[in-house]
Amino acid sequence: MSSREQDRVSRRGFLQAGAVGAAGAMALGCHGRPKPPAPPPKEAPKETPKAVVEAPPPPPPYGRYEVGAQTYSFREFSFDDMIAKVEQLGLQYVELFSSHLPMNASPQQIADARAKMAARKIAVNAYFVGGLNKDEANDRRILDFVKGLGARVAVGDPPADCFDVLDKVVAETGVQVGIHNHGPGARWSKTDDLLKALANHHANIGVCLDTGHMQRSGENPVESARKLGARLNSLHLKDLNEQNHDVVVGRGRLDLVGLFTVLKELHFSGPISFEYEIEPKDPVPSMAASLEAIRAAIAKVG
């Protein structure tokens, strides 16, 4: 090989070596260290799952109140038919009338009745009793019967001279007695008479205010409820027209909104038994209309 050819080869090798060195330098970086690998692509931020906000359950149809039926409204019907109609009306409470379960019912009859009502989610919160008197054993038997039903109020018409005996029995059984007012000329027809008779007696002896009879006695049941205060432990809810005849609740003189306003002020929590005394053979349609008016009044008061 001539010296010229050797020179050409040497220069070619030099250029090739330079190219390799430049590539190596690029790989090592400007300081001769390996170039760090490129960072991985950033992941898109994950969205935090939003908490599922469930709508609150609707309030009970009667708010905080135990609105039920006084079963005298169904006096033309058997026990089984009565509870079917109570269920049809969407009620969960009853104040039993004696024709549907007498006070001399056997333990088995009581158990059967309670089982039938429980199957329909109906509870007894009151019972209309008779026969309370000055005989302690008699009164204890009656209140024990009411307690055995799971009820907490025995509604009745006891004379004032048995209140001393009742003081002891209501304290021991825990069952309340609700004195039921009636119309003009009855033993209990005026609010002031009830309050006077109950003074200094046990707190478990109170009043079942019948809004219909109180109107017949010439008193305003809303004001009666306010005056009774803590002595008010239950109600019979009725409405009357100007002629003092029973009508669908909400279509008569009773100030429903005013009544539930007072009950709210009193923090009332006792049984409210809707009693419809007319149309005994077919009371359900009118009772349904009455209950609609009651629900509207409760909703308005809040």
Q: pLDDT band for 49, please (50, 70, 90 cuts).
A: low
Amino acid present at 72: Y
Whether 224 shows a pLDDT value over 90: the answer reads yes
Confidence at residue 61, expressed as pLDDT on a 0 to 100 scale: 86
Domains parsed from the chain with CATH numbers: 66-301 (3.20.20.150)
List C-alpha distances in Å: 196 to 33, 220, 262.
105, 18, 21
Confidence at residue 55, expressed as pLDDT on a 0 to 100 scale: 61
Q: Look at 154 and 31; give whichever has higher pLDDT.
A: 154
Whether 109 shows a pLDDT value over 60: the answer reads yes
Mean pLDDT of 17-35: 45
Q: pLDDT band for 60, please (50, 70, 90 cuts).
A: confident
- Give me the chain's average pLDDT, please: 88
Burial class (CB within 10 angstroms; exposed 0-12, middle 13-18, buried 19+) of 209? buried
Pick from 10-14, 37-41, 128-132, 250-254: least confident: 10-14
Query: What angle (nearest 5°) sits at the alpha carbon of residue 149, between those of residues 207 and 228?
Result: 10
pLDDT in tens, 62-84: 999 999 999 999 999 999 999 99
Q: What whole-number distance in Å separates Cα of residue 181 and Cα of residue 247? A: 19
pLDDT in tens, 130-175: 999 999 999 999 999 999 999 999 999 999 999 999 999 999 999 9
